[in-house]
Structure 1
Amino acid sequence: MTKDVIALTDRMPDPWSVLAGLLAGGPDLHVRSAAEGAVVQLCDLEGRPLVSIEAPLLLHVPEEAQRLLGTTRADDKPKWWTEARASTAVPGAAQLAGTFAARLTSLLGGTVWPPDAPGTDDPAHPVDTSGITAVPAPAAAQPAVDVLTEKVAVVLQDRPVIGMTSWLSEALRAALTSERALQIVTPRHCRLTLPTSTALTGPPTRWVVQDPDCGYYDGFSGAVLRWRDGAFQVAEDADGETPVAPAFVDVTRTGERQLLLGFRTVHQPDARLVLGGALEAAWQSLTGELPTGWGTAEPANLPWSRRSLTDLAYERAPQPTWTVVVGSADRPALATLRVLRTPDGVEEDVTLAVGFRDGEKPPVSAVADLAAELTTRYGLRTLLARLREARADLSAPPRFERPPIPFGYALGPTEVAEAGTGVAARPPLPIAPVQLGTKARPGYLYPLGDGESMEGWALFETLLRHLRGAAVQS
């Protein structure tokens, strides 16, 4: 599996401490930069990478290390996150990465993850690198990619929680650019964050889970997989059927819940526009708190700031800006926010998930007031609210989880006008819609049940057919 080592240091890794860490392999190894200087690589005598080290990241949100690595929360002080990734094809590279991280923490204070990584027990002595060489890398390879074929880029990971790190995000971008699919391979104990699971949208992009009983299976569907023709693909038995891994259906119900909210808002371009207000309103409505941090990858390293978010989106325009937003450990919440320019204006697409432990009641009734606020203040276009049985920590395990059930859907005034106000106001549903906004330009919230009964899906389908039929007729 992957050989990742992370140094969580109390002080910033300055050039001298990084140099001391790089000397973990002795003076004979070469050093070069990659990814426009964001990555430093220890290389063999032929210039081929053994260990790739990402630029240090200051975690203003210390809880992110706890969320992604399962570490014990020691204090609330910011930590520097420095990640080293050893080449999986090179014996001894993992020890190099571990020694590098251990040297950083011995100089700057802090801890190494994983604590038992090779090379961390005696960082004072350089690793014997005689005879260590790397294989030539394909031109399209990325530091995070372990196997590259004509069809897929394969990333091997072994962490408690697989987040959408900057390395993984770059591997996904590079795979798509080269018309390949991304396939992430993990052991059975690993879980995915919401951003990572959302990025793996379906075959041939996959979450591949190693399993001692069946070899490999798909972490979302349970389908047994086999490596064939340069990619992981579904296997077939003698009858042409795809077997399901027993581990996937070995599920214990816990009573935990997730409330999922997906909505889209559009604003007119304005120099005074500050983004993130709709997400902030939704967050406070469902959790009673504000977000604590945000970033363009996981871990989210910046303290929550609508102004900073707006500045970044402005700098990147007209290209879209994707960010992840996190909350406190006391109330698990996580969101992705995508900002993009459209012919209608500045659009914000939000997916927000809030976790609830066994015995806690998700605030389903709060969605009505929230939909009204989003309509009045933030230019709501559409909103879908769902409830599901799933982990309160919002991570996805490689086991069957019941699909989310919709309990509310909302249309903003623009969408209501497109469907026809009369049609939108009188859907064939058992409960009448709730008017949002003004009488002159109304929006509507459509109740679809309590989120517990599968009837919510039937009502949602009925509503969409009604609205789309009206749009086709017009």
Structure 2
Amino acid sequence: MTKDVIALTPAMPDPATLLAGLYAGGPGLTVNTLADGAVLQLCSPDGVPLLSVEAPQLVHHPEEVRRLLGVQVALPAGPFWWTEARATGSLPEAERLAASFAGRLASVLGGAVWPPGAAHTDVVPLPARITLPPLSESQPPAVDIQTGRASVVVQDRPVIALTTWLSDALGATAAQGRALQLVTPPTSRLTLPARAALAFGPHRWVVQHPEGGYYDGLSGARLHWNDGAFAEEHGSDGEPRVAESFTAAACAPILKGERRLTLSLRTVHPATADLVLGGALEAIWQQLTGGPPTGWSTAEPVNLVWSKRELTELARTRAQRGAPTFLIALGSPEQPAIATTWAVHTAAGIEEHMTVALGYGPEDSLPLDALPELFRHLTKRHDLTDVIATLGPARSDLTITPHAEHAPISVTAPSARPAGRHRPAPGPSGAGRRAGGA
């Protein structure tokens, strides 16, 4: 299992500071670069990767710390740099190496380190002889185990987000014809973008329960390792066996009164030179939350200030290469809201496939009366062609637990009716590629 350590600093780690951090293992190690310099790898003298460091990201939304890392880490006062390191789990000293790297960054630049209490600045003695399993050249840095059928990523973070690491691993895995299988403890939760990404193709969220074995965190099917991948266990009737752990906590959101309103929409715009995307999302946010989205990105943490012009430029650049664009939009913490969008050029025009989710506590009023007028506005001004709105019990922070969700009801039909267990709507052709970026 890889171990993640994150440095949150008010200043950008420059090359000299990064180099000082990488000397946490002493001067005998070597440094490699991957992904056109976007990933640094600290390696043993014979070239075995011990630690992978992603290029620092400037995050304009301090609330992302609380959303993705919890309340144990103090919120930064303003924009900050997020530098993430992943240590191989095959060498016990590598985790301390990652913690020393992050601690050195924070000691020079200020800021904080996650997990809390992990940071230090000691030089980590490494064995004189390091023998680790060889890595395939096709194995992305985020992947812990790779077989002919699957790429397995093991994480024990409280909230599993669609980070650049995970997005890259999904894209590489799909291109190789493998399934990505994310293994977590039952205490982990997924963000909605991570859940949406794992819903495509053969990918799977594998929950390792200390007493109940392995099961699928979205379907509840019991799993076992078979011929290089996790596969479902079936009963005598041929149907998948559902883990008791999956259904045990299904009533928790109902008891707490938390709810999630989900809008699944499609817009189809004429492919004109002056087209600007993101208008439908902005209108939804304005109507249902009182303001525009606060940020957008192609992965998590959401790091960019909301800009329809910038996201349109990215989508146009990718469309010229024949590739769809995956985007995430985020709202303010006062009204939890998050959206995923696929923008794709089809024969019909430029399509936006959007899923927007809003979370509400037991005392919050629901904006259901505003939906009809909102949909009329989207149809008239933003080329809306399809929409489904559902409401059901779920965590108001919009994370997904590895437990059964009660069926939401439709709130767009004249009479509310069960809509089935909600899963993200399938994306357009090409959705199995890398989720965002270039």
What TM-score results when the alignment is normalised by the length of structure 1? Answer: 0.84
Report the Cα offset of residue 128 of structure 1. 3.3
What RMSD, in angstroms, separates the aligned Cα atoms of the two structures?
1.7
8 Å CA contact retained: 1:25, 1:129 = no
Shift of 1:383: 0.9
Question: CA 1:242/1:263 → structure 2, altered by over 3 Å: closer, same or farther?
Answer: closer
Cα deviation digits, residues 191-243 of structure 1 (max 9, x gap)? 00111111222774211111111211111122221111111112246776644
Aligned residue for 2:36, secondary structure, equals: coil
Residue-pair matches, total: 413
Say if 2:373 is the partner of 1:394: no
User: CA, structure 1 residues 201+284, in 2 after alignment: closer, same or farther (shift >3 Å)?
Assistant: same
Partner of 1:136: 134
Name the SS for the 2:219 alignment partner. coil
How many Å separate the matches in 2 of 1:68 and 1:53? 19
- 1:372 paired residue among 376, 401, 412: 376
More deviation, 201-210/189-198 = 201-210
| Segment drifting more, 354-363 vs 3-12 | 354-363
Letter in 1 for 2:378: L
1:196 aligns with one of 190, 194, 200: 194
TM-aligned CA deviation for residue 255 of structure 1: 1.1
The reply to whether residue 67 of structure 1 matches residue 70 of structure 2 is no
Give distance in 2, aligned partners of 1:241 and 1:324. Answer: 35
Larger radius of gyration: 1
Alignment of 1:104-253 (within 5 A): 104-117=105-118, 120-121=119-120, 123-201=121-199, 204-236=202-234, 242-251=240-249, 252=252, 253=254
> Are positions 1:382 and 2:386 aligned together?
yes
Where does the alignment leave 5 or more consecutive residues of structure 1 unmatched? 409-446, 458-474
* Alignment partners' CA distance in 2, 1:404 and 1:289: 26
Measured against aligned partners, the alpha-carbon deviations of 1:104-139 in whole angstroms (never above 9, x if no partner) come to 00000011110233xx24x14344353334321012
Q: In structure 2, how many angstroms separate the alpha carbons of the residues matched to 1:361 and 1:131?
A: 62
State the alpha-carbon separation in 1 of the partners of residues 160 and 107 from structure 2.
27
1:457-472 mapped onto 2 (5 Å cutoff): none
SS in structure 1 of the partner of residue 231 of structure 2 = strand
In structure 1, which of residues 449, 460, 466 is the aligned counterpart of residue 415 of structure 2? Answer: 449
Amino acid at match of 1:74: L
For 1:341-365, what per-residue CA distance to the aligned partner results, in whole angstroms no more than 9, with x for missing partners? Answer: 1122221111100000112232112
> CA offset at residue 379 of structure 1?
0.9
How far, CA to CA, are the matches of 1:199 and 1:403 in structure 2? 21
Which is further off, 88-97 or 25-34?
Answer: 88-97
CA gap 1:299/1:391 in 2 versus in 1, 3 angstroms: same
Offset, 1:154: 0.5
Amino acid at match of 1:152: A
Change (3 A) 1:260 1:61: same
Greater RCO structure (CA 8 Å; 6+ sep): 2
Instruction: Tell me if structure 2 keeps the 8 A contact 1:206–1:218.
Output: yes
| AA partner of residue 105 (structure 2) | L
Deviation per residue, 1:406-461 (Å, 9 max, x gap): 221xxxxxxxxxxxxxxxxxxxxxxxxxxxxxxxxxxxxxx3434xx53x67xxxx
- The one-letter amino acid of 1:102's match is G
Q: Is the 8 A contact 2:76 2:111 kept in 1?
A: no
Q: Secondary structure of the residue that 2:399 maps to in structure 1?
A: coil
Alignment-mate amino acid for residue 38 of structure 1: A
In structure 2, relative to structure 1, the CA distance for the partners of 1:20 and 1:284 (3 Å cut) is: same
Q: 1:352 aligns to what? A: 356
- In the alignment, the residues of structure 2 paired with residue 203 and residue 19 of structure 1 have an alpha-carbon distance, to the nearest angstrom, of 40
Structure 2 runs not aligned, ≥5 long: 421-438
Match of 2:7 in 1: 7
Report the 3-state secondary structure (helix = DSSP H, G, I; strand = E; otherwise coil) of the residue aligned with 2:31. strand
Q: Provide the residue aligned with 2:316 in structure 1.
A: 314
Do the aligned partners of residues 76 and 281 (structure 1) sit closer, same or farther apart at CA in structure 2, a change above 3 Å counting?
farther
In the superposition, the TM-score normalised over structure 2's length comes to 0.90
Encode CA deviations 1:165-185: one digit per residue, 9 max, x unaligned: 111011111111111111100
How much identity, in percent, do the aligned residues show?
Answer: 51
Establish whether residue 326 from structure 1 lines up as the match of residue 330 from structure 2. Answer: yes
Say whether the 8 Å CA contact 1:154–1:182 is kept in structure 2.
yes
Alpha-carbon contact 1:144-1:168 (below 8 Å) kept: yes
* 2:260 maps to amino acid: Q
